[in-house]
């Protein structure tokens, strides 16, 4: 069971998804607009936000950016279309996952549970790599002694790659271990998350040291 904030302007979709997610055991609060959703996110604690892209007033992209600036709450984007513009835009705004409408409630429930599992703590001691400290017990990352605010998905990708420094992981492997997807077409999730992660932890994101691209294969954690 999760505390879910659903931001959806379509009354029928909002009502049906709220009821369906409730039947899956979730406690759902609903907001009709981006402004209302942001207000509710500040007023109460939620474990995950399900966010429609096309909203009146502030659109889903901007709502996601503002949520991401204030907290690390996971965001699942609801898009009416599965084209690259919407999907890439949502991921670049900081969304952790996306689903294309109409969505089966059981699929959305599975995505919610997968996002939440990414936040489960791993037990291990802190390790430092060239100024980057990763504490798997505390689930924190520090760069030159300063804590870095990562989203749960960004942290999970970093933990997955840094578990075996120097070893290449394919996008498919990362999809399966971090997003629990098995569809290679979702590799944009990996690439966009890596891009955001690099912006936060790399000394120079244009010449990454920690999350390195191995052309034609995937990514590995360095320095190696």
Written as six digits, the tokens of 19 are: 């009821």
Residue 183, pLDDT above cutoff 80: no
pLDDT digits (tens, 9 = 90+) for 50-97: 999 989 999 999 999 898 877 778 899 988 876 777 777 777 788 888
Residue 121, pLDDT above cutoff 60: no
Q: Which of 114, 127, 197, 198 is nearest to 163 (CA)?
A: 127
Q: What is the pLDDT of residue 16?
A: 94
Written as six digits, the tokens of 172 are: 């498919």
Q: What is the pLDDT of residue 82?
A: 66
The helix or strand, by DSSP H or E, that contains position 78, with its residue range, turns out to be strand 75-79
Average pLDDT over residues 186-203: 91
126 bridge partner residues: 135
What is the C-alpha to C-alpha distance for residues 19 and 28, in angstroms, rounded to an integer? Answer: 8
Give me the residue label for tokens 């990352």: 141
**How far is the CA of 217 from the CAs of 26, 130, 134, 222, in angstroms?**
38, 24, 25, 15
- Give the length of the chain: 224
Integer distance in angstroms from the first to the last C-alpha of the chain? 41
pTM of the predicted structure, to 2 decimals: 0.62
Helix (H, G, I), strand (E, B) or coil at 158: helix
SS3 content of the chain, % helix, strand, coil (to 5): 40, 20, 35
95 bridge partner residues: none
Tally of CA atoms within 13 A in the half-sphere of 202 that contains its CB: 18
Average pLDDT of the chain is 86
C-beta of residue 101 within 8 angstroms of C-beta of residue 81: no
212 bridge partner residues: 220
Q: Dihedrals φ, ψ of 95, to 5°?
A: -65, 150
In the chain, the domains with their CATH numbers are 2-124 (3.40.50.2300), 127-221 (1.10.10.10)
6 bridge partner residues: 30, 50
């Amino acid at each position: 069971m999760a505390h879910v904030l659903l931001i959806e302007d379509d009354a029928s979709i909002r009502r049906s998804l709220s009821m369906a997610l409730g039947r899956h055991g979730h406690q759902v609060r609903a907001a009709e607009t981006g402004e209302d959703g942001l207000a509710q996110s500040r007023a109460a604690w939620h474990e995950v936000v399900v966010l429609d892209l096309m909203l009146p007033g502030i659109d889903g992209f901007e709502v996601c950016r503002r949520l991401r600036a204030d907290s690390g709450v996971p965001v699942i984007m609801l898009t009416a279309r599965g084209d690259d513009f919407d999907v890439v835009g949502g991921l670049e705004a900081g969304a952790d996952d996306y689903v294309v409408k109409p969505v089966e409630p059981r699929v959305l429930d599975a995505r919610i549970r997968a996002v939440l599992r990414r936040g489960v703590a791993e037990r291990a001691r802190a390790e430092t790599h060239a100024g980057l400290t990763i504490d798997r017990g505390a689930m924190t990352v520090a760069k030159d002694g300063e804590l870095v605010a990562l989203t749960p998905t960004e942290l999970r990708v970093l933990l997955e790659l840094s578990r075996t420094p120097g070893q290449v992981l394919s996008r498919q492997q990362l999809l399966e271990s971090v997003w629990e997807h098995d569809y290679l077409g979702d590799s944009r999730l990996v690439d966009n998350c890596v891009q955001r992660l690099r912006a936060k932890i790399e000394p120079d994101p244009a010449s990454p040291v920690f999350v390195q691209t191995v052309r034609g294969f995937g990514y590995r954690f360095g320095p190696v």
